[in-house]
Amino acid sequence: MDQLLSTPAIAQGLRKVETRVQRLGGSSALPAINDAAGRIIRAGGKRLRPAMTLATSLALGKTPDRRVVTAAACVELIHAGSLVHDDLMDGATQRRGARTLNAELGDGRALVVGDFMLARAGLAAITAVSRPVAEVLAAAVVELAEGQYLETTDLFNPHRTKESALRSVTGKTAALFRAGCLVAAVCAHASDEDRVRMAAYGERFGLLFQILDDLLDLTASSERLGKPAGNDLRQGVYSLPLLMTGADVSDLLGRDMSDERVEEVLRRLRAGGIVDITLAYCRDLAADAVTALPAIRDQEVATLLRELPDAYIQRVASLAQLTPVG
Ligand code: FPP
Ligand code: MG
């Protein structure tokens, strides 16, 4: 991942994306909205989704131009807006080391600031990129909402199926990674086959990204996460790593779990092989992602995209495996 973000052409593009996201987030007629959106945008984040947009453009032989930069900025703005809504739904008070908008401004204002960010991205896509790109992004927002909705229907459901969990993460996370790659392919006027290939790459990467995030929630220490470990359990989100492990924890799941109970679930999952099972699943997704890649002329970009999924898994594996739980 560091390799991706530090590749000169991508790092240079990301600086432009940063300016564009901040400009879009600060474009309301109401200064208070600009302050709120700006705080979330400036609070951090890896900018992985726009980096994928830029990398796709390079992979398809195009130096990212103004339209690709704007499309990448729209992807990041949608991501940031969705996090505002996610924190509101979770009642979270901290994100990226800063206070969430719902904690700072109240739920109603946070809701409309998130709406502003999503709508502003849509407006920029249609006015400053192209209608096909705006369509791709709007379709991704639909999928995000569906994936997130599906998660709420399974909260505290000990019988949640793996299929339902997979469908949810495909919508709530993989769809935007997919769209991030696809918009660059659309801007590059790539062939239908290359569009499908890059979209599949983005989707597979997005899936493994979210599944590893869910694994860390169940295995990494609170200090590493910057939020309490086992947060998903407390919130009633029984994620794919938990469901895949096959350790019987259903007698312990429920509302208002004590710290001891959460720790016992984490211990059983660890003993049931959660780390190895999840990593193996993600390695299969990584292999699928790499298989989906089209032929790429630029060898540096080809290597980057081929190595990214496994490098990301490796990085998370060291976080998940070295940290004792409980
Ligand atoms: C973070 O995941 C949340 C998402 C990836 C998507 C959130 C989507 C919505 C709130 C739907 C509404 C959005 C739109 C675009 C209408 P997480 O909760 O697993 O991760 P976290 O630990 O970072 O909170
Ligand atoms: Mg959340």
Per residue in 175-216, pLDDT (tens digit) is: 999 999 999 999 999 999 999 999 999 999 999 999 999 999
Residue 93's CB is within 10 A of a number of other CB atoms, namely 12
Ligand 1 atom nearest 173 alpha carbon = 5
CA dist 207 and 194 (Å) reads: 20
- Ligand 1 pocket test: which of 144, 167, 212 has the largest number of ligand atoms within 8 Å of its C-beta? 144
Q: Kindly give, in sequence order, each residue whose CB lies less than 8 Å from that of residue 161, ignoring residues fewer than 6 positions away.
A: 243
**Chain centre to alpha carbon of residue 116:** 20
Q: What are phi and psi of 308, to 5 degrees?
A: -55, -50
Given a cut of 90, is residue 322 above it in pLDDT? no
% of the chain beyond a pLDDT of 90:
90
How far apart, in whole angstroms, are the C-alpha atoms of residue 138 and residue 64? 22
Ligand 1 atom, smallest distance to 86 CA: 10
Judge whether residue 324 has pLDDT over 80. no
Is 65's pLDDT higher than 50? yes
**264: which 2 tokens?**
């016992």
The whole-number average pLDDT for the span 160-182 is 98
Q: What is the pLDDT of residue 325?
A: 47
Other Cβ atoms less than 10 A from the Cβ of 15: the count is 11
Kindly report the number of other CB atoms within 10 A of residue 312's CB atom.
Answer: 19
Strands (E), the chain: 94-95, 98-99
Q: What is the mean pLDDT of residues 162-167?
A: 98
Q: Would you state the pLDDT for residue 320?
A: 79
Query: Which element (helix H / strand E) includes 297?
Result: none
User: Quick check: CB of 148 below 6 Å from ligand 1?
Assistant: yes
Contact 95, 104 (CB under 8 A): no
What is the per-residue pLDDT for 198?
Answer: 98
**Cβ–Cβ < 8 Å for 103, 90:** no
Q: Which residues are bridge partners to 94 per DSSP?
A: 99
Sorting pLDDT into bands at 50, 70 and 90, what band is 93? very high
Tell whether the model's pLDDT for residue 89 goes beyond 70. Answer: yes
Atom of ligand 1 nearest to the CA of 145: 11
Please choose, from the candidates 74, 204, 64, the residue with its C-alpha nearest in 3D space to the C-alpha of residue 135. 74
| Residue whose CA is at the smallest distance from ligand 1 atom 17 | 86
pLDDT band at 3 (very low <50, low <70, confident <90, very high): confident
pLDDT at position 319 is 84
Supply the pTM of this predicted model: 0.96
CB-ligand 1 contact for 27 (6 Å cutoff): no
CA triple 300-301-302, angle to 5 deg: 90
Q: Does ligand 1 have an atom closer than 6 angstroms to the CB of 144? A: yes
- Res. 326: pLDDT tops 60: no
Q: Which pLDDT band, with edges at 50, 70 and 90, does 227 fall under?
A: low
| pLDDT class of 228 with cuts at 50, 70, 90 | low
Does residue 60 have a pLDDT over 60? Answer: yes
Eight-state DSSP code of residue 128: I
* pLDDT attached to residue 224: 66
pLDDT of residue 96: 81
Domains of the chain by start residue, with CATH: 2-322 (1.10.600.10)
Residue 93's SS3 state is: coil
Q: Is 172 in the pocket of ligand 1 (CB under 6 A)?
A: yes
Q: Is the pLDDT of residue 238 over 50?
A: yes
**Paired tokens of 310:** 């496994």
Distance CA 184, CA 68 (A): 6
Q: How confident is the model at residue 254 (pLDDT cuts 50, 70, 90)?
A: very high
